Amino acid sequence: MNTSMKYALIPVAAALVALAGCTSSPSGADYDKAAAEVMKNSFQDRGIAKVDRLQQDEANRLCSAADVAGKPLDETTAKAIEAANLKTVKMPSDGQFLGDWKEGEKIAQSGRGLTWSDKAGDANGGNCYNCHQISKEEISFGNLGPSLYNYGKLRGATDLNSPAGKAIVEYTWGKLWNSRAYNACSQMPRAGHMGILNEKQIQHVMALLLDPKSPVNQ
Amino acid sequence: MKLTACGAALALGGLIAAGAVHAQGNATLDGIAKYREMLQDGNPAELFEMKGEELWKKKRGPKNASLEQCDLGKGPGVVAGAFVELPKYFKDTGRVQDLETRLITCMETLQGFNAAEIMKTPFGKGEMANVTALATYVATASKGMRFNLSQTHEQEKTMYEVGKRLFFARGGPHDFSCASCHGTDGGRIRLQDLPNLTKNPGDGIGFAAWPAYRVSNAQMWSMQRRLNDCYRQQRFPEPKFGSEATIALGVYMGVNAKSAESIVPAIKR
């Protein structure tokens, strides 16, 4: 082969075959290792998206492995992930859970931010409508998450200061901050925990979902 | 034909803009379906296919040779049927290759081009644009055929297993994996239908639909480019062109798509 094909180092797949050559065939653990190696070799920094984004935290590592295996995590592991993620939830520093639903609607509409074609410091969107129905007016919504239309109303959150209302407010805040606090392998981004949305933005999205005046609850 | 395509693209642009907020979702989808129908006789991808065929037959490069002796897996010069069996293991390079990396191997060995340099070239530019045209030509020659990737070589099996793991690997600031969007049936982002790529998603869907002409940006996209943009939206760092991750994902999707009919070159939003 021509020498200029510098990329043609020994492929990971070939290395694995050689390694497993003396035994029968590669095991699942061998494939895990090969996949990690391939991941490490195959990506490069571009713009704000650096290769350190490939580092998985414990929850991502365990949930990915469960997805590959095609079976959910065992109860104990799931509970441990939820507990660890619940600990990361920061309640609003000014004690205000709800902002302006109109601002929340804009954040829910926006899917921008954090790709390699975005700039550092650009305002990130919440990506909410990509997966959820939210207000009735917006008919272009995804279906990977449950419908959030009438979110507050359906949960009886008419008086947000009542004990029942407060519980829903706090749960929703936690869910937006770190979705895995309540569902170990949730597919929903951890908006607060991962710094996708800031506290102020989460307050606005909270209002969109829970403010009795929000179109979501009409 | 070019004019017609342009006019239709404008019309579709209007449709999408109107559909985004107020119009009924079904009307938008119907509009897109109608538009695709309109283009049946004039998919701009044909221009890329024609360019690719010319490039295949033309003597080029430092060695002033054509690609007509290129072995895409079915023997030197055999184009028909090659696409629906790729990626596969190649003995001469000792690795699993997809259509695009295999074409670049031929451009190097037969024509004397520098493979590493081509692989570093941005999509749509220079020899990379030629690789996309060549891929469109080769893939189109398998139109109507069914995917049937080999899983006999140990490296092919390994790449499938690696691809599966990459497909489910969650990471980045949004914790996304390929499976976040492409792991269930009937999923949608906004109004965009998402194929379930963990199994055969159906004829002409998913792996069986790329390379495709993209109306929204008037570009011809290869599978490498499709994957590159998936990872961008996934908020991951950039996959290197032809990297093992991209090949492994190709093997995973291609094997899963077994018996799906290729409609390439497809036309997309």
Q: Do A143 and A149 form a contact (C-beta atoms < 8 A)?
A: no
CA B23 to chain centroid, in Å, comes to 31
Q: Which of the residues B70, B178, B181, B230 is marked catalytic?
A: B230
- Comparing CB atoms, the residue among A2, A39, A194 nearest residue B169 is A39
Please indicate whether, in this complex, the C-beta atoms of A117 and B164 are within 8 angstroms of each other. Answer: no
Structure-block tokens of residue B227: 């994957």
**pLDDT value at residue B30:** 73
Closest-CA residue of chain A to B189 = A142
- CB-defined contacts A:B, below 8 A: 195
Q: Which residue of B has its CA nearest to A131?
A: B189
**CATH number corresponding to B45-140:** 1.10.760.10
Could you please state the CATH topology (level 3) that the domain comprising B154-268 is classified under: Cytochrome Bc1 Complex; Chain D, domain 2 (1.10.760)
Residue B238 and residue A45: Cβ atoms within 8 Å?
yes
Q: Which B residues 142-171 touch A at CB under 8 Å? A: 154-155, 157-159, 161-162, 164-166, 168-171
Largest CA distance in chain B: 58
* Residues A9, A56: Cα–Cα separation, whole Å: 26
- What per-residue confidence (pLDDT) applies to B39? 64
- CB contact, 8 Å: B181 with chain A? yes
d(C-alpha B246, C-alpha B233), whole Å: 15
Are the CB atoms for B116 and A5 separated by under 8 Å? yes
Residue % of chain B over a pLDDT of 90: 82
Q: How far apart are CA A72 and CA B183, in angstroms?
A: 15
Residues A64-87 pLDDT 10s:
999 999 999 999 999 999 999 999
Residue A30 buriedness (CB in 10 A; 0-12 / 13-18 / 19+): middle
Q: Which of A121-135, B19-33, B83-97, B157-171 has the lowest mean pLDDT?
A: B19-33
Confidence band for B110, pLDDT divided at 50, 70 and 90: very high
Contacts of B33 (CB under 8 A, 6+ apart): none
Q: Residue B25 pLDDT > 70, yes or no?
A: no
What integer best gives the mean pLDDT of chain B? 90
DSSP 8-state assignment for residue A214: S
Higher pLDDT, B125 or B15: B125
Mean pLDDT of B114-118: 98
**Cβ-contact B87, B97 below 8 angstroms:** yes
For residue B39, count other CB atoms closer than 10 A to its CB. Answer: 21
Taking the CA of residue A75 as centre, how many other CA atoms within 13 Å lie in the half-sphere pointing to its CB?
0
CATH superfamily, with its number, for domain A101-217: Cytochrome c-like domain (1.10.760.10)
Contact call for residues B49 and B137 (beta carbons, < 8 A): yes
B151 vs B20 pLDDT, higher one: B151
pLDDT tens-digit map of B248-262: 999 999 999 999 999
pLDDT digits (tens, 9 = 90+) for A161-212: 888 899 999 999 999 999 999 999 999 999 999 999 999 999 999 999 999 9
ipTM score above 0.90: yes
| Tens-digit pLDDT profile for residues B66-76 | 999 999 999 99
Contact present, B247 and B97 (Cβ < 8 Å): yes
Sign of the CA dihedral running A58, A63, A64, A70: positive
Task: For residue A193, give every residue at least 6 positions away whose Cβ sits within 8 Å of its Cβ, in sequence order, or none.
Answer: A85, A88, A89, A177, A178
Cβ(B92)–Cβ(B247) under 8 Å?
no
- Structural domain boundaries in chain A: 12-72, 101-217
Phi, psi of A151 (to 5 degrees): -50, -55
B230 catalytic residue (yes or no): yes
Longest CA pairwise span in chain A (Å): 74
